[in-house]
Structure 1
C-alpha cells in the first residue's frame, strides 16, 4: 500500500460521536433560551459573576477575618432586621447549628422543636444530633406549619422552637401573621426561645403585611441567606442580641467559619440587598399571576391531573406537580428550550407516589414581562413536547 493509500484510509476513519452529558445539554438549553420564566443558580458563568461584583470604593482595604466590607454587611442586616447585632457565616447550615447550640446552652435544654420537613432535618446530614449534640421533636408531621396548640401540647419540654419561614419542602408555606404570633406566644408559655430559619425571610413581607424588622422582632434570633432570594454568591447572617452574636462568633471560630477573606460574598450580598430586596414584593405579586395562568393552561390541556402548590403562592416561589416521570418532564422542558427558545420549566424530581414529579418555580425579574397569555402558550407547547415524547401518566 502506498503512502497515498494510507492517507486515504486515514481520512475514511470516523470517530464515534460521544454522548453528550445530560446536565451539560440542559444547561446549554437554559442558557440559550431567548425567554425564561425563572432563573437557575447554575446558569451564570464565572465571568458573569465576577462582572456583577461592584464596590463604591475599589481602593478600600480588603477584609481580613470579617472586618471592612463584611462588617458593613453585618451592620446593614442588623439594621434591616431591627436586631442589636449580626454575624456573617459562610453557610446557613453552620449559622443555624451555632444558633441552636447557643440556645441549648443558655436554656439548659438540648431539645429543639421543629418541623420534620425543615432544613436541618432533611438537608444537613443529621448535624444537629451528630455535631451539635442536640435532639429534635416535631409538633406536627403534616405538610403545613405547626399550630400554637400543637406547640403547647408537645409532651416533653424543649428549649428552642425553630420556625422555617417559609417552609420550603411542602411548598414555601407561611402561617398567617396571627398564627405566627400565636405560635411564638405558645413557645414562650413553654419557657422556650424562638429561632427563625429565615433563609427566605426577605420575601415574606407581602404575605405578612409587615416590615422585616417587625417580623424578625418576634424571634430571639434569625438566620437569613444571601443567595436564595437576593442572588448573592453564598453566605448567611445570624442576627439577634449583642450577647448572643458575640457567643455565636466564638462558635463560628470553633466550627471553622472564621474565613480569612470573604469580600466577594459580602459585596454580592450588599448588591442583592440594594438591587433585589426592593423588587421582591413585585416578584411575589407576579408569582400569583403566573401560578393562576399555569393552572388555566394545564386545565385546558390534555394532562390528566396537575397541582399548583400552593394554589395562590405566598412568596415568589411555588411548586408544580404533574403525573409523569421526572425524566420525561425534564426532557420536554429541554426540547422546548432548544426548539422554541422558550424556557418554561427546568429540572423535575420524582416525589410522592410512583409516577409523580415536582418542579419549583422562582419568579424574578425575567418573569415580570410574562403575561397570562404568554404562560398559556408556553404550557400548550410544553404539553405538546411531553405528548410527543410519549410520556405515560
Structure 2
C-alpha cells in the first residue's frame, strides 16, 4: 500500500496535490466559476448592464472607488496591463517626453512582451537594482529627464518589500517640485494599508495617478481601476477605446469586483497578521528563509536551499500526511535553490492552527533530514 501511494504521488503534479489537500493555505478560494456565481447570488437579474463604459452599474462603482482612493475620478478597465500603459502614455504625451522610469522587475518590464515600447514607443529608465526597492537617492541621481516615475507598492517580485512611508512622502515632494508625474502600481495597495497604518486616500494623495487590481488579494474575476484627476481619466477613456477595452459590457467583472471588495477589504489586517505568523513558522525550518523575513503585507516569498524537484516531492509528502497544502508551485532559482510565493486570504483564516503547525513541523523535520543525506 505504501509503495502504491508513493507511486501515485510521483505521478501527481504539485498543483494536483495542492488542489486535493483538505486545507490549501494560499488565496481565498479555488479559481473556478463559483467565484462568479457567489458574487451574483444577491444580484437583481433585471438590473441594467453597462454599455460601452456608460450606465449606473459602472459609473457608481467608479465613483465609489475614486472616493475610497481619494481621487476626483476613476475609470474601470478590464486589465491592469492596459490601464498602466495608458497612464504612462498620457503623462508622456503631456510632458512631450517619451522617457519614463521604473524598477527593473516592474510588471511592464518583465511580463508584457515589451508592450510599452511596441504600442506606445516609450523608453524606460530602470532605477535601483533587482534586489531592492527604488529609493529617493535613486531618483535624485537620475541623469536623464523623465516624464513619469512608476512605483510599485509592494514590490512583488522581491517578496513584497516596501519603502518607509516617510521616504515615499519625500519622493512625492521631490517629483512635484520638478514636474515629474508619479504613478502608483497599486496592484496590492489594499494589502499594504495595515502595515502603513494609513488609509488608501492618504497613500494615494502622494501620487498623480493610481492603478488598483480587483483580483489579487480581493479575489475578483478580473478588472482594474485607474484613478486621477478628471482631465486624466477623461483622456484615459479615449485610450481605453483605442485599446479595445471598451467592451459592450463589463458587468461580470464589475459585480464580482464590487462584491469581493466589500467582502475582503475588511479582512486585510487579518491576512497581514496571518502572513507574519506563517513566515515565522517557515523561518524555523532548516534550509528555508522568507523574504522579507517579517512580511509587510499578506504576501511574501519563501526561498529554499533545495532543488525545485526535491522540494516538490517534500511538499507532496507533507500534503499527503497532513492534508495541508502549502503552495501550488515551486520555481527554480538555480540547480540548488528554489522559491515560491505565499499570498494569504480566507483559506488560511479557516484552517485550524494546529494543522498549520503540524504541516510546518513535518516540513521542518523533512528538511532537517536532508542534512543527514
Do the aligned partners of residues 326 and 49 (structure 1) sit closer, same or farther apart at CA in structure 2, a change above 3 Å counting?
farther
Alignment pair present for 1:330 and 2:312: yes
Residue of structure 1 in register with 2:32 after alignment: 45
Structure 1 residue 285: Cα displacement:
1.6
Please name the residue that 2:327 is paired with: 345
**How far is 1:361 from its partner?**
0.7
In structure 2, runs of 5+ residues without a counterpart are 1-6
Q: Distance in 2 between matches of 1:47 and 1:139?
A: 41
CA shift, 1:261, in A, is 1.6
RMSD of aligned alpha carbons? 2.5
Does the Cα contact within 8 Å between 2:307 and 2:332 map onto a contact in 1? yes
Give the number of equivalent residue pairs. Answer: 366
Match of 1:380 in 2: 361
Compute the displacement of 1:273 (Å).
1.1
Q: 1:320 aligns with which of 289, 302, 305?
A: 302
Instruction: Provide the residue aligned with 2:176 in structure 1.
Output: 188
1:372 positional shift: 6.6
- Superposed, 1:1-393 pairs within 5 Å as 25-39=13-27, 43-47=30-34, 49-66=36-53, 67-296=55-284, 298=285, 303=286, 305-351=287-333, 353-368=334-349, 374-383=355-364
**Rg larger for:** 1
Deviations 1:217-237 (A, max 9, x none): 110000000001110000111
CA distance in 1, matches of 2:237, 2:171: 29
Q: Distance in 2 between the 1:22 and 1:236 partners?
A: 39
Distance 1:287-1:47 versus aligned 2 partners, 3 A rule: closer
Q: CA deviation at 1:40?
A: 7.6
Q: Which stretch shows the higher mean deviation, 146-155 or 27-36?
A: 27-36
Normalised by the length of structure 1, the TM-score is 0.86
Shift of 1:113: 1.1
1:61–1:391 Cα change, 3 Å: farther
Cα distance, 1:105 vs. partner? Answer: 0.7
Unaligned runs of 5+ in 1: 1-18
Structure 1 residue 335 displacement after superposition: 3.4
Deviating more after overlay: 333-342 vs 161-170: 333-342
